[in-house]
Every structure is written in C-alpha cells, then in structure tokens.
C-alpha cells in the first residue's frame, strides 16, 4: 500500500512541469472550473449560461478562478492592479459585461451564418461558417476571433520530467500590458478574450451546430442532437415551439390551397365542364401526401376561389 501511495506522489511520465514550482502541475481539471459542473455537455451549458445574462455570478467566479493563477506571476504593475481589485471588487463588472456581450455577438454571427440571406425563416446549420462576412457586420467571425484571441495566443510549450515537450492549449492570461490603457480597458479586453476562447472551443467541438437562437423570444438554446437539415419555417426554442407549429400549419395549409387553385385554373383552361371537386382533392393529395376528399375542397371553396382570382389577376 505504502508503495502505491508513494509512486502517486512522484511525477508520472506524462506530467509536465510547472513554471512556478518546477514540479508536476496540479491541473485545474474541467470539473472544478466554475460553470462547468452540470449538463451533459459542460462547455455547451456554460456558454448558454453566459449568453442568457442571468448567471453573472457564475461568470465572475469563472474569471476569478483563472485570475487567481494569473496573479501568481507578480510584476509591479500587476501588484498595483491586484490592490485596486481588492479595494473595488466591482471593477470586475467590466470583464463580466464584456465577456457576456462578446459571447452574444459571436453566437449571433455563428448562428446567422447558417441563415438564408433572402428568407430569415430558412436555417441550415450545416452551412454555418466563420469565413463569410454577414450583412451589417464589420468583419467575419474568424477575423474577430483572430484579432481578439488567436493572434495574441501563442501555444505554450511545456516540458516533462524526461525532457520531452508538449504543446499545451493554455487559457487566456490576463494581459498586464493592457493596464497602460487603464483598468477598465484591460478588464474589458480580458472579458473579450475569455469569450473568444470559450466560443472557439465550442466551434472546435462536435457541438458547434447544437446551439441555436429562438426566432420568437430570441433566447439561446441547444438541441440535443445537431440539426443538420434545413428548417424552412423558423427556429423555435422548446418554450415557443407552439409558435413554430402554428406557423408551419399555416404555411402548409397555404401551400395546399395554392395547389388547389392552380389545378382549378388548369382544369378550366382545358375543359368546359365545371371543376370536379373530387379531382381537385386528388391533385392536392398527389402534391402534398394528404388524404383529402371532395369535402375538404367544398369546405375551402371560398378560399380556393379567392386564390384563383388572385392568380388570374397576377397573370394579367
């Protein structure tokens, strides 16, 4: 037993060494990071909680958790900054606000990149990309993430006990050089970088196409599975699904009535006999997979005839 305990204390083969202690790290595992405790997909639920703006305390804890590590690298300007933060913990609000705001912009750009340019109800998550510059946006999502994060985010090289190297995907450090622009700017920049870091992790995960935004209440939510097929009649969160099905029913009903009206015109243009209602029903069934009888046509006769008129007028 003693042997096992001892061997656990020594540096294991794969462990990299800490710049602070010179010995193996105690990693901050994903499980202990504030905001990453729950949900089947911790990163996705963390991002949704940042986006909803109702978990500011969690965002604060998350930022503080990593600042604690940054603050172990002491410099005179860092010391002065830490004193300021101690005097006025409210300063961190700048970083919290900026992390939430930046995350929302990135989520919107990402989600909107899958929407049709002509019909906002048409959404194809498979088309989402970071390259296109969307209307009313100054740049693409890639350029935004590049400017905020990737350019200033060199991978960190770590070393193991045996001298071999490992490239570590480190988290964004607090940039003390930004302090020359004032505490507010430095903290806002820090919040932005964290938003870009977490969002780029989502983009690089299998869950990048799970995230969506409700067309009705504008809240962000995630599908249980990635939705890859095109949605034609708007995207709705579970709470607003009723809105979506109302819209879908209305639109498929509209399409059926349109088909009925078109067939009506076809019949009249090549027959002298009155339009057989049973035949119209069969034509609608052929196009829409429905099982209507003449009763459906007679029930909607007025609407069909209005459409016939409208179509004839449109043709002039």
Instruction: Single out the residue of 43, 95, 196, 214 in contact with Zn ion (rule: CB under 5 A).
Output: 214
Among 99, 186, 235, 237, binds Zn ion (CB under 5 A): 237
Q: Which is nearer to Zn ion, 212 or 259 (CB)?
A: 212
Q: Which of residues 140-199 bind Zn ion (CB under 5 A)?
A: none
Rounded to whole angstroms, the Cα distance separating 116 from 123 reads 6
Q: How far is the CB of 39 from Zn ion (least distance, A)?
A: 19
**Least gap, CB of 129 to Zn ion (angstroms):** 25
Tell which one of 36, 216, 223, 267 touches Zn ion (CB under 5 A): 216
Strand partners, 123: 115, 231
Pick the piece of the chain touching Zn ion (CB under 5 A) from 23-31, 72-80, 137-145, 240-248: 240-248
Q: Which stretch binds Zn ion (CB under 5 A): 25-33, 45-53, 194-202, 230-238?
A: 230-238
Please, which residue, 92 or 237, has the CB nearer to Zn ion?
Answer: 237
Compute the least distance from the CB of residue 237 to Zn ion, in Å: 3
Residue 82's CB is within 10 A of a number of other CB atoms, namely 14
Residue number, 111 or 280, with CB nearest to Zn ion: 111
Counting contacts by CB under 5 A, is residue 240 touching Zn ion?
yes
Residue 223 is a binding residue for Zn ion (CB under 5 A): no
- Residue closer to Zn ion by CB (options 66, 221) is 221
Which lies closer to Zn ion via its Cβ, residue 199 or residue 220? 220
At closest approach, how far in Å is the CB of 222 from Zn ion?
Answer: 13
Cα distances (Å, whole numbers) of residue 221 to 35, 166, 206, 208, 288: 16, 36, 16, 12, 32
Q: Strand 156-159 to strand 165-168: parallel, antiparallel, or no bridges (unpaired)?
A: antiparallel
Contact stretch for Zn ion (CB under 5 A) within 150-158, 168-176, 195-203, 234-242: 234-242
Helix axes 141-148, 93-112, angle to 10 degrees: 150
Q: How many residues bind Zn ion (CB under 5 A)?
A: 5
Shortest Cβ distance from residue 235 to Zn ion (Å)?
A: 9
For residue 16, the cross-strand partners are 160
Residues that bind Zn ion (CB under 5 A): 214, 216-217, 237, 240
């Amino acid at each position: 037993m003693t042997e096992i305990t001892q061997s656990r204390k020594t540096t294991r083969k794969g462990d990299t060494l800490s710049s602070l202690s010179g010995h193996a790290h105690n990693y901050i595992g994903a499980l202990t990071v504030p905001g990453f405790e729950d949900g089947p997909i911790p990163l996705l639920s963390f991002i949704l909680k940042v986006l909803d703006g109702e978990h500011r305390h969690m965002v604060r804890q998350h930022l503080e958790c990593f600042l604690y590590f940054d603050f172990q690298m002491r410099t005179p300007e860092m010391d002065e900054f830490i004193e300021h933060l101690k005097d006025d913990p409210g300063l961190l609000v700048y970083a919290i606000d900026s992390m939430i705001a930046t995350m929302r912009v990135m989520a919107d750009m990402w989600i909107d990149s899958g929407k049709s340019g002509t019909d906002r109800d048409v959404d194809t998550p498979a088309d989402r990309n970071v390259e296109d510059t969307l209307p009313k946006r100054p740049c693409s999502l890639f350029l935004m993430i590049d400017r905020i994060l990737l350019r200033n985010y060199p991978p960190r090289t770590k070393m193991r006990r045996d001298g071999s190297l490992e490239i570590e995907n480190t988290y964004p450090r607090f940039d003390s050089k930004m302090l020359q622009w004032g505490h507010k700017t430095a903290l806002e920049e820090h919040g932005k970088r964290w938003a870009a870091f977490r969002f780029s992790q989502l983009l690089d995960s299998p869950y990048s196409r799970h995230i969506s935004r409700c067309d009705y209440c504008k809240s962000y939510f995630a599908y249980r599975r990635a939705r890859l097929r095109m949605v034609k009649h708007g995207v709705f969160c579970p709470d607003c699904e009723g809105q979506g099905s109302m819209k879908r029913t209305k639109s498929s009903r509209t399409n059926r009535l349109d088909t009925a009206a078109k067939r009506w015109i076809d019949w009249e243009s090549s027959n002298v006999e009155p339009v057989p209602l049973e035949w119209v029903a069969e034509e609608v069934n052929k196009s829409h997979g429905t099982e209507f009888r003449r009763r459906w046509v007679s029930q909607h006769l007025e609407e069909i005839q209005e459409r016939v008129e409208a179509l004839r007028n449109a043709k002039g």
